[in-house]
Amino acid sequence: MSHRSFVRLSALLLTVSVCISPAALAHEGAHAIFDGKSLDGWEVRPEKDTADHWKVEDGKIVCENENQKGSVLWTTKNYKDYEIELDYQTSSEYYDTGVMLRGDGHQVQLGISGSLKKDMSACVYAPSDKRGSYPGVSEKGTEVLKLGQWNHLRVVLTGKRIQTFHNGEPCVDYTGVAINDEGPIGLQLHGGHHMKIQFKNIKVKEL
């Protein structure tokens, strides 16, 4: 290969590498944990009076609690360190949902906090840490919230460290105390209000 050809090849490879965004690299190794067709790999708890809250429509998980009872859709698989990304949308101004990280105990809130009566999107709810109900707080999640539209949540969980990103905006970087070492991932639908929420594009990358 001539020197001129080598230079051209190097320039081409550099251009290709620049075109690959960090977001694209972040998806390497990620896999869908919702197949868009069924709730295979998931289970509703408590099942009594809440199993019909969760269904699949047009490639989305749709959850609605006309009886105002709360429930969680859990993965049947347990996870340790991982990165999760998902899109969600709500059809009502009041909604209280979130992602349970390793079973009960630590949650990334989406929507209105029942206790604080205000939006706490992308904040960490962890009363078991005894640092207050929301020891990991940021207003950035609320500032970038698109009410009634599709929003994107990304959470990175490594050891006890929880990092949240809402619509691409870094929000909370919190180190937990009493967080479980391993457990299922859950999508929560809080009780006490009638709410309808949709989820899609749920992907996990184990770290």
Residue extents of the structural domains in the chain: 31-206
pLDDT grade for 108, boundaries at 50, 70 and 90: very high
Mean pLDDT value across residues 47-68? 92
Query: Tokens representing 59?
Result: 């490639």
Q: Select from 106, 99, 96 the least CA-distant residue to 84.
A: 99
pLDDT of residue 50: 85
The residue type at 151: N
Q: Cα-flanking dihedrals φ and ψ of residue 169, to 5°?
A: -95, 125
Q: Select from 199, 175, 201, 197 the least CA-distant residue to 63.
A: 197
pLDDT grade for 17, boundaries at 50, 70 and 90: very low
pTM: predicted TM-score of the whole model, two decimal places: 0.85
Q: In the CATH hierarchy, which top-level class contains the domain 31-206?
A: mainly beta
pLDDT of residue 4: 52
| pLDDT: which is higher, 61 or 28 | 61
pLDDT of residue 26: 47
Q: Which of 43-52, 152-161, 185-194 has the highest mean pLDDT?
A: 152-161
3-state secondary structure of 180: coil
pLDDT of residue 75: 98
Residue 29 Ramachandran class (φ > 0 left, ψ -120 to 50 alpha, else beta):
left
Beta strand spans in 101-167 (E): 107-111, 124-125, 151-158, 161-166
| pLDDT: which is higher, 176 or 15 | 176
- In sequence order, the 6+-apart residues with CB closer than 8 A to the CB of 56 are 36, 37, 38, 39, 62
Q: Cα-flanking dihedrals φ and ψ of residue 128, to 5°?
A: -65, -20
| pLDDT: which is higher, 27 or 123 | 123
pLDDT of residue 114: 87
